[in-house]
Structure 1
Amino acid sequence: MTHVLSTQSAIPAGSLVAAPHPVLRAPGLVLRPWDTADAPVFLDAYRDPEIRRWHTRSPASEEQAREWFAGYRQDWTEEKAANWAVTRDGKEVLGRIALRGMNLEDGVAECAYWVLPAARRTGVASGALTAVSEWALGEAGFHRLELDHSTRNEASCRVAARAGFVLEGTKRSSAVHPDGRHDMHLHARLRVGGSPAHPES
């Protein structure tokens, strides 16, 4: 069903997919689209207890992981989401980061990420989140990025703060995790004056 906006769309439809899925860089990191060859490490990641603790969905096989990758590619062509493998050199996968629920009319999207055990507490998550945020709030033209996590996930809270996401409040009993319902912290980072805003802006 079509509708007419009374305001101008923050990001014109078709402007993101007019270019290839971006490859982003941060110090020591390359963020690239997922490749079918990444299926084994992707599947193994979801066997990690910490990743399973905070995620309710996980692939059951390498074949299903590749199906997820195909879905990621489709989401990009439909301007619904962008998904990256976080790598050390374009090859060694260290984690995953995504922009989900991309609302081009309002210029809002949600960030999500995980990092493999060997790469934790090394700045990988905050570096990847900063790189995605700079692209999204800069070149891509988003106005607001949101990020939520369980109030019990202190590590994710630290990552969000280091990447410039301000804690805005608590969403009570907002999400279901494997051990039941959790309160969720809501963080956000804004584009102000044409540039990505940091907390001090």
Structure 2
Amino acid sequence: MDLDLDGLRVRTLVAGDADLVVEATRAERRPALWGPRPAGPYSQDDARAALRAWEAEQVSYGVLDGPRLVAALGLMPSGPGAAELAYWVRPERRREGLGRRAVRAVTAWAHAHAGLTRVWLEIDPDNAPSLRLAESAGYRYEERMPRHCRTWAADDPAQDVWHDCLIWTHEASGRRR
């Protein structure tokens, strides 16, 4: 993928983008991005490991403003015609509508070019900005999954804290549940 997003470039992230991920997450105060284990800020080793894992398990996209990574999105296959979409915006670029624009663009691309009929989001019920983004990007609330998501406070899942997740979905035009 290589898209123009109102002067920003959306492209596939590759293993050689570790420096971009490290620089972009430098100001992050909490675990950022996504699996296999969220980190924040990312070290070079974290970034390289994440990019390798992302290439093997999903497709990840970077939103670049010139040479700087300002947001990242990942499409993780979850069955025939479906994928979870994860997103992150660098701290100093939040509340600019960048996440909403990027989620809309990648969702439209996923329906039109990747053949996905259903794209879904997992959102912490306490993450009000992410809930607003989902709704403004055209996603619809589907269900609450009790104790479904990890906080990653511990490496061992049995020792970790689990919280509810809200599932929001976007279906290809003409398909509604």
TM-score bracket relative to the smaller structure: 0.7 to 0.9
Equivalences for residues 135-154 of structure 1 within 5 A: 135-154=109-128
Asked if structure 1 preserves the Cα contact closer than 8 Å seen for 2:33 and 2:87, the reply is: no
Corresponding residue to 1:117 among 91, 96, 117: 91
Alpha carbons of structure 1 residues 112 and 119: separation in structure 2 relative to 1, 3 Å: same
Asked if structure 1 preserves the Cα contact closer than 8 Å seen for 2:123 and 2:167, the reply is: yes
Deviations 1:65-110 (A, max 9, x none): 124323433x3xxxx5210111123x2210110101253xx20000
Corresponding residue to 1:82 among 29, 44, 59: 59
Match of 1:101 in 2: 77
Question: Aligned-pair distance for 1:51?
Answer: 4.2
Match of 1:6 in 2: none
1:173 aligns with 2:147: yes
Question: Aligned-pair distance for 1:178?
Answer: 4.1
Question: Aligned-pair distance for 1:145?
Answer: 0.4
Asked if structure 1 preserves the Cα contact closer than 8 Å seen for 2:99 and 2:133, the reply is: yes
Taking structure 2 as the reference length, the TM-score comes to 0.80
Equivalences for residues 16-31 of structure 1 within 5 A: 22-31=1-10
1:32 aligns with 2:15: no
Asked if structure 2 preserves the Cα contact closer than 8 Å seen for 1:107 and 1:144, the reply is: yes
Asked if structure 2 preserves the Cα contact closer than 8 Å seen for 1:82 and 1:100, the reply is: yes
Distance 1:132 1:53 in 2: 16
Question: Aligned-pair distance for 1:54?
Answer: 8.6
Match of 1:68 in 2: 50
Show structure 1 runs of 5+ residues with no match: 1-21
Distance 2:4 2:72 in 1: 14
Aligned AA for 2:63?
A: V
User: Which structure exhibits the higher relative contact order, with contacts defined as CA atoms closer than 8 Å and separated by 6 or more residues?
Assistant: 1
Q: How many residues align?
A: 167
Asked if structure 2 preserves the Cα contact closer than 8 Å seen for 1:29 and 1:128, the reply is: no
Task: Report which of the two structures shows the higher radius of gyration computed on alpha carbons.
Answer: 1
Match of 2:168 in 1: 187
Equivalences for residues 153-168 of structure 1 within 5 A: 153-168=127-142
Question: Aligned-pair distance for 1:34?
Answer: 2.2
Distance 1:23 1:53 in 2: 20
Asked if structure 1 preserves the Cα contact closer than 8 Å seen for 2:18 and 2:47, the reply is: yes
Asked if structure 2 preserves the Cα contact closer than 8 Å seen for 1:25 and 1:131, the reply is: no
